[in-house]
């Protein structure tokens, strides 16, 4: 079975004996990998669309996995202590968690891999009563992915940490990421400056964001 480095990083963050709910399980590769590793206690694979759900059901028919055709975490029970939300946009991740806050009472760990709006995800999950335990950058098919583990509790973070990551400078891929991201931000700023819709506030915000990434 071929599993991506991104999903391997997600799996590596999950605690021993966890009772996992994987929201947006899709192909079920994470489920198969975690079961083969023998690390977790149980796993619930969740999909909200019937097409992907029937493929998921078929892929996992030989594995001890609970399946749920439901929206986000709306149907998880109190045995679940770990939520995985991988391969989704940050806004969707936040909506899934925010629309069922009561379901987070028994949750000890949330592991996410958001491909956009990662700052909003860090801010939101911290507001929901978690802190960032660790992060890992994965570079796959030309994209940098940030896999993040949150644990129950509270810590304060700087704007830079919400924006770029917690202890992210220690990651071996950070310098490569920073170089690429700075190029992107600078060319966006140049484009923005020459646009008729640009404002001095907008320019300042973009310059400050570039400054924070340079300074990290």
Ligand X SMILES: C[S@@+](CC[C@H](N)C(=O)[O-])C[C@H]1O[C@@H](n2cnc3c(N)ncnc32)[C@H](O)[C@@H]1O
CB of 177 to ligand X, least distance (A): 19
| CB closer to ligand X out of 103 and 206 | 103
CB of 172 to ligand X, least distance (A): 22
| CB closer to ligand X out of 70 and 198 | 70
The residue number whose beta carbon is nearest to ligand X equals 24
| CB closer to ligand X out of 26 and 207 | 26
CB of 203 to ligand X, least distance (A): 35
Helix, strand, or coil (residue 176): helix
| CB closer to ligand X out of 92 and 173 | 92
CB 215: neighbour CB atoms within 10 A? 7
CB 211: neighbour CB atoms within 10 A? 11
- CA nearest 87: which of 164, 155, 10, 185? 10
Residues that bind ligand X (CB under 6 A): 7, 23-24, 26, 46-49, 52, 71-72, 86-88, 92, 96
| CB closer to ligand X out of 88 and 189 | 88
CB of 48 to ligand X, least distance (A): 3
| Ramachandran assignment for 139, one of left (phi > 0), alpha (psi -120 to 50 degrees), beta (any other) | beta
Residue 128 contacts residue 109 (beta carbons within 8 Å): no
CB of 84 to ligand X, least distance (A): 7
- CA nearest 45: which of 71, 25, 60? 25
Alpha carbon distance 177, 193 (integer Å): 24
How do strand 66-69 and strand 109-114 relate by DSSP bridges? unpaired
């Amino acid at each position: 079975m071929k599993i991506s480095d991104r999903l391997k990083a997600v799996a590596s963050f999950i605690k021993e004996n966890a009772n996992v709910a994987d929201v947006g399980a899709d192909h079920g590769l994470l489920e198969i990998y975690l079961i083969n590793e023998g690390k977790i206690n149980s796993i619930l694979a969740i999909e909200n669309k019937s097409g992907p759900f029937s493929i998921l059901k078929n892929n996992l028919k030989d594995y001890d996995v609970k399946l749920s055709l439901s929206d986000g975490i709306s149907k998880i029970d109190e045995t679940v202590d770990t939520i995985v939300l991988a391969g989704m946009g940050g806004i969707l991740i936040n909506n899934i968690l925010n629309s069922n806050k009561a379901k987070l009472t028994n949750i000890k760990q949330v592991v996410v891999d958001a491909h956009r709006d990662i700052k909003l995800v860090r801010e939101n999950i911290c507001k929901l009563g978690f802190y960032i335990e660790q992060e890992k950058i994965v570079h796959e098919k030309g994209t940098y992915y940030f896999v993040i583990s949150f644990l129950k509790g509270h810590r304060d973070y700087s704007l830079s940490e919400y924006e770029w990551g917690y202890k992210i400078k220690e990651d071996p891929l950070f310098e490569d990421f920073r170089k690429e991201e700075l190029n992107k931000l600078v060319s966006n700023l140049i484009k923005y400056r020459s646009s008729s819709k640009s404002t001095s506030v907008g320019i300042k915000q973009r310059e400050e964001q570039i400054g924070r990434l340079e300074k990290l």
